[in-house]
Amino acid sequence: MTRCRAALLALLTVAAIMVALSPAAPARAADEGPEQIVNGTFDAGTAPWWSTGNTTLSVDGGRLCADIPGGTANPWDVIIGQDGVPLVAGDTYAYRFTASATPAKVGKALIQLPVDPWTQYLSAAPALDVPGDGYSYTFTAPVSLPNAQVAFQLGGSAEPWRFCMDDVSLKGGAEPEVYEPDTGPRVRVNMVGYLPSGPKKATLVTEATTPLDWELRDAARKRVANGRTSPKGVDASSGQNVHTIDFGAYAKPGEGYTLTADGETSRPFDIGASVYDSLPTDALKFYYTQRSGIEILDSLRPGYGRPAGHAGASPNQGDTDVPCRPGVCDYTLNVKGGWYDAGDHGKYVVNGGISVHQLMSAYERDRAAFTDGQLRIPESGNGVPDVLDEARWEQEFILSMQVPDGKPYAGMAHHKVHDQNWTGLPLLPHLDPQKRELHPPSTAATLNLAATAAQAARLFAPYDAAFAARNLKAARRAWAAAKANPTRYATPDDGVGGGAYDDADVSDEFYWAAAELYLTTGEKEFADFVLASPHHTGDIWRERGFDWGNTAQLGRLDLATVPNALPGRDKVRQSVVAGADKYLAVQRAHPYGLPYAPADFDWGSNNLVLNNLVVLATAYDLTGQEKYRAAVREGMDYLLGRNALNRSYVTGYGEVSAQNQHSRWYAYQLDHSLPHPPRGSLAGGPNSAIQDPVAQRLLRGCKPQFCYIDDIESWSTNELTINWNSPLAWVSAFLADKGEQSACRVRYSAHGSWPGGFTSQIVIENTGRESVDGWTLSWSFPGGQRIRQGWEAEFAQSGAVVTATSLGHNDRIRPGRSVTFGFVGTHDSGPNPAPEVFRLNGDRCR
């Protein structure tokens, strides 16, 4: 979850209720209240309307018109308004006007407090076009006010344009509208599709309480399967009475399937082994267009090209020489680069930490699945897997946030860097004129740096020894600094211009950092810290899942999966399986198959669903039990359409998907010259707290699954962030993994070691009933190990990934028999644990 808007909550009124009707739709108003707008028809000229000094009002053909200058940054840079508009608390108002734009633009129509904090009682973003149209809105005033302000904010356009309006009216006595989202057919499916060998379930919303007939039809409308639904009762998260349709027995691949039940037909979906093949790549491609400090090339991302943001060129004021907030430090830092955290221009170490960690962890789980050139980024072709190149872009930024030697709190990390004040939407990064500021160092940020740098040290060792060593040095400095300053917490009031990301308990970050440092170095100090931490044996598997503020789970997952010699490691693995069992039980009890079921949904609930799926997927990797993999597959259905809103939360996936996530540069809804978010972007999802004005107006009283609206202004339900796409990338890579459990067992043993070298032997045993005719065994070394010489197999190594292939005379492995081969290798200082995941001809051995 991101808290980028927490500082705005004091500016908002929770009581406001407003529903925007479509353009030209009539407001349901009594029209008996007095007119509150003076001269809304402009028959008497322009008074008392006013404008900012950069535009002039005139009457043209009976309409008020103004030439809006180009080159402004924020919507409020150009305003046309009227003051002194009275409001009565509890009264519902109908607000109407006609307006046009040449060329077409999106404006902002506001009724608000006329002084700081400019509390908005109505906020709408009408799409204005050349012919012009009528717009109607209703809202209920939360306070009585003699002098509210009606304002049209029209700035933020690169080029000049002309605005005209007429028939502006505000009358009380209107009847409030009730917002009802379009949820489409009552049969809810994963609109992307289902894997042939996986579970296939859909949800039917119905008033029926007894089983109903269902039919599965192919693209030619031919019935290919049928059955009866299973009633599940009323789902607490949606308030709906639902049935489950289970068509898992049907496994024939195809496109354009539909399900019909209770007179409703679902949206189309596919069945096939490749339904998730593109999602890992698209989820990772999201990060290139989130980059700060570098030009985004249109040749690599057509439609998303833009100049480098915050690279030191005017009007930017950073990030090449950024000062601290007053009283924080006496130096500046070059913190150019990294990823923009979310839909604004802030960069945060704590949110960047979990994000870059999960990208590196996806790679560490299955290094062979990630290749050089996969993402089409500027670094493609350098011999390093693209996912590591992308992770490095963020990791370099995190390292740059470390306090220099000789300064107070040397070795700690500044918590964040962002604008001095909030900016409006839309605003491309290179046009942001705000002063940039470093915020105080925090223990949480310092431990995020220690953890990700330690992880980067082992993963980059095969590709860039110098960068790996730099990361390990920075990790050690950060660890020492955090121990010396264990309670320097980010505060909840440090959020002007960016989110606070406050966290007053960093014991989990200490555990995570110690775990990563132990996995990379094998040193006793870190092992002892891990074993003594209450997070090592406690039940850390929260119902709500883990996130940037709850990171002990990251350490536990890595200790369970990354090869190491920690005492009692079997219990660590067992604890991960126990956590997965908890989420599996939640999922099996949930009518929509969700492994997440708190009474109220959290900010970024989709990210929490995914992180619970990470735990389930890890349990599958540890045990090979199909129930855990099936749970991951079913859990993904929710994000891709099997939900109360019948919507995919991943842009570009499914017939109806999120398109208007909160962002200053993916802002098509506000400026049609800008794009929607790129394919593979995850929306935050339902949030019961509905903190933003749009959500508060439209979603008041919503059941958890309905606390979402695909609107760019709804930052509490519809933001996109780097730490929400990171588990999407991790889980989708797991789902795209076509490896099955193979009937084989591998024994890896070290026969000798010496400083910088070792010799190992591998035995492959065929535990199945059929012969293996020709074999290739692949595995990954945990660090910088290299094979120098081998026997009884042909060896190839790319980075950490090794393949050993049979030689002809040992091609065949009969049932119950084995083959043996070995090699001499080299390794850098540090641990040299045995690899634990082996794939024989692409499938996992046990």
Confirm whether 719 is a catalytic residue: yes
Q: At 4, is the pLDDT very low, low, confident or very high (cuts 50, 70, 90)?
A: very low
Q: How many CB atoms lie within 10 A of CB 239?
A: 13
Quickly state the pLDDT bin for 117 (edges 50, 70, 90).
confident
Query: Which single residue is written with the structure tokens 């190149």?
Result: 389
Q: Which residue has the higher pLDDT, 782 or 613?
A: 613
Structure-token pair, residue 377: 């980024």
Active site includes 503? no
Query: How far apart, in Å, are the Cα atoms of 90 and each of 17, 173, 228, 701?
Result: 10, 10, 49, 17
Count, in order, helices (H) and strands (E) of the chain. Answer: 14, 41
Tokens 């009692």, located at residue: 568
Of residues 77, 235, 344, 621, which has the active-site annotation? Answer: 344
Q: Is 710 a catalytic residue?
A: yes
Which phi and psi (to 5°) does residue 529 adopt?
-65, -45
Residue 74 has a pLDDT of 83
Backbone angles phi, psi at 406, to 5 degrees: 85, -5
CB atoms inside a 10 Å sphere around CB 301: 17
**Vertex 823 angle, CA 817 and 827, to 5°:** 135
- Using CA atoms, how far residue 533 sits from 408, 507, 515, 537, 748, in Å, is 28, 8, 10, 8, 31
DSSP string, 298-309: TTTSTT--BPPS
- Of the candidates 404, 418, 415, 397, the one whose C-alpha atom is nearest the C-alpha of residue 317 is 418
User: Rounded to whole angstroms, how far apart are CA atoms 764 and 819?
Assistant: 5
Instruction: Kindly list the distances between the CA atom of residue 352 and the CA atoms of 66, 86, 116, 332, 449, in Å, as whole numbers in the listed order.
Output: 44, 46, 33, 21, 9
Weakest mean pLDDT among 51-60, 231-240, 373-382, 691-700: 691-700
pLDDT of residue 1: 42
536 is catalytic: no
**Of 350, 367, 535, residue with least CA distance to 440:** 350
18: confidence class by pLDDT, cuts 50, 70, 90: very low
DSSP string across 636-671: HHHHBT-STT--BSBTTSSSSB----B-SSS-TTT-
Which of 64-78, 227-241, 363-377 has the least mean pLDDT? 64-78
Give kind and range of the element (H or E) at residue 778: strand 776-780
Angstrom distance (rounded) from CA 803 to CA 7: 53
DSSP 3-state helix, strand, coil percentages of the chain (rounded to 5)? 25, 25, 50
Neighbouring residues of 148: CB distance < 8 A, sequence distance ≥ 6: 85, 86, 87, 111, 112, 113, 114, 121
Q: What tokens were used for 408?
A: 């107070």
Q: What is the mean pLDDT of residues 245-260?
A: 98
Residues near 555 by Cβ (< 8 Å), separated by ≥ 6?
451, 508, 511, 512, 513, 514, 515, 516, 530, 535
pLDDT at 11 over 70: no
Cα 290 from Cα 355, distance rounded (Å): 12
Element (H, E) at 350: helix 349-365
| Calpha distance 290→682 (Å, rounded) | 13
Mean pLDDT of 718-738: 97
pTM for the structure as a whole: 0.90
Give the helix/strand (H/E) hosting 826.
strand 818-826
Query: For 769-819, how does the pLDDT look when each residue is reduced to its tens digit (9 = 90+)?
Result: 999 999 999 999 988 899 999 999 999 999 999 999 999 999 999 999 999
Residue 719 CA to residue 660 CA, distance in Å, equals 9
Place of tokens 């082992």: 458
pLDDT at 9 over 50: no
Catalytic-labelled residue, pool 77, 719, 737, 765: 719
> How far is Cα 204 from Cα 552, in angstroms, rounded to an integer?
38
Sign of CA dihedral 30, 32, 37, 39: positive
Is the pLDDT at 304 greater than 70? The verdict is yes
pLDDT tens, residue by residue, 668-692: 998 888 999 999 999 999 999 999 8
Confidence at 32, pLDDT banded by 50, 70, 90: low
Sheet containing 201-205: which strands, arranged edge to edge? 187-188, 201-205, 240-246, 230-235
Give the β-pairing of 63-68 and 57-60.
Answer: antiparallel
Among 108, 102, 105, 104, which Cα is nearest to 137's? 108
Q: How far apart are CA 553 and CA 561, in angstroms?
A: 12
Torsion of CA 677, 683, 687, 692, to 10 degrees: -10
Helix crossing, 279-289 with 349-365: angle to 10°? 150
The whole-number average pLDDT for the span 542-559 is 97
- Asked whether the predicted pLDDT for residue 660 surpasses 50, the reply is yes
Q: Which of 177, 509, 710, 713 is catalytic?
A: 710
**Exposed e or buried b per residue across 70-108, where buried means at least 16 C-beta atoms within 10 angstroms of its C-beta:** eebbbbbbbbbbbeebebeeebbbbbbbbbbbbeebbbb
pLDDT in tens, 64-91: 999 999 988 888 999 999 999 999 998 9
Q: Which amino acid would we find at residue 733?
A: A
pLDDT band at 489 (very low <50, low <70, confident <90, very high): very high
- Rounded distance between C-alpha atoms, residue 571 and residue 448, angstroms: 25
**Sign of the four-CA dihedral 314, 315, 318, 321:** positive
Backbone angles phi, psi at 475, to 5 degrees: -65, -40
Tokens 């699954």 -> residue: 705
Interatomic CA distance for residues 248 and 198, integer angstroms:
7
Q: Which residues contact 411 (CB under 8 A, 6 or more apart)?
A: 402, 403, 405, 446, 477, 478, 480, 481
Contacts of 206 (CB under 8 A, 6+ apart): 186, 212, 241, 242, 243, 261, 262
Mean pLDDT for the chain overall: 93
**Strand partners of residue 145:** 87
What is the per-residue DSSP string for 506-521? -HHHHHHHHHHHHHHH
| Whole-angstrom Cα Rg for the chain | 29
Q: Considering 310, 662, 676, 827, which one is annotated as catalytic?
A: 662
